[in-house]
Amino acid sequence: MGSKVIFPSNGGTCEGYLSVPESGTGPGVVVIQEWWGLVGHITDVVDRFAEAGFVALAPDLYHGVATTEPDEASKLMMGLAMDAAAADISGAANYLASLPSSSSGRIGTVGFCMGGSLALWSATLAPQVVAGVAFYPGIPWERMAPKWQNYQEKFAIIHCSESDGTSKAPGIQLAKSSIEAAGGQVELFDYPGTHHAFFNSDRPEVFDPKSADLAWERTIKFFRKHLA
């Protein structure tokens, strides 16, 4: 359904995977990878957003590198320059907003693990990003130093796994209090009995179909409400 695209980013270019709904138009959503890279699971998620009526784009934050090995994924994540990743995400948001297929200048971001933290952070950097969804965000905020005050009149939801400490985890509570203090709105959802990465159907050892379906339903409803 989707295709590879190249868009301007940080004075250069970035590749990504873009998918457009059958209608030809829809709200724009940036899909942000886990630490594995731009793998099949992420492109599948992009296509699912298109099927739900969104114009979705996943930027390739590792620029052509991907892995299925946890040790290599950890090295890739630790070596990722967060400022460069933020520029690629902002570039993706700008690109989506400029497309004729994008029905609104209001862009959403959604990410998983590492990408979950980046999805929340991006709303503090790009004015057109007005709604962020984080699945089990997994990077300490100190690596990003988000300007939470930029969440004024923006929206977020965070899907929390039990194995990560649920919504009571310190990093989740910091995001919640900071977004609310800025005048933004955030909802936290707990999924009892789940492990980190419970949405990833390519990892049967942690995948939880029931919780994944519920989180997806909430995410689609959230974006339809805030990106119209």
Residues 6+ apart with CB under 8 A from 14: 6, 7, 8, 59, 60, 63, 88, 91, 92
Kindly report, residue by residue over 162-213, the tens digit of the pLDDT: 999 999 999 999 999 999 999 999 999 999 999 999 999 999 999 999 999 9
Instruction: Share the mean pLDDT of the chain.
Output: 95
Beta-sheet strand order (sheet of 3-9): 3-9, 12-19, 55-59, 26-32, 102-112, 129-135, 155-161, 185-191
> Is the separation of the CB atoms in 144 and 121 below 8 Å?
yes
First to last CA, the chain: 23
- pLDDT of 81 over the 80 cut: yes
Give the start-to-end residue ranges of the domains of the chain.
3-226
pLDDT attached to residue 7:
95
Considering only residues 31 and 140, tell me which one the structure prediction assigns the higher pLDDT: 31
- Residue ranges with strand state E in the chain: 3-9, 12-19, 26-32, 55-59, 102-112, 129-135, 155-161, 185-191
pLDDT of residue 144: 86
Three-state SS at 104:
strand
pLDDT in tens, 25-57: 999 999 999 999 999 999 999 999 999 999 999
Report residue 142's pLDDT band, with 50, 70 and 90 as the boundaries.
confident
Residue 103, phi then psi, degrees to nearest 5: -85, -5
Interatomic CA distance for residues 74 and 155, integer angstroms: 30
SS3 call for 10 = coil
Q: What was the pLDDT predicted at 92?
A: 96
pLDDT at residue 135 in the model = 98
Report how far residue 123's alpha carbon sits from residue 125's, in angstroms, rounded to the nearest whole number. Answer: 5
Please state which of the four CATH numbers 3.30.470.20, 1.10.3210.10, 3.40.50.1820, 3.30.1360.120 is assigned to the domain occupying 3-226: 3.40.50.1820
Contact in structure between 20 and 47 (CB atoms under 8 Å): no
Indicate whether this model's pTM tops 0.85: yes
Percent of the chain with pLDDT over 70: 100
1 pLDDT more than 80: no
> Looking at residues 134-146, what average pLDDT do you find?
88
Per DSSP bridges, beta strands 3-9 and 12-19 are antiparallel
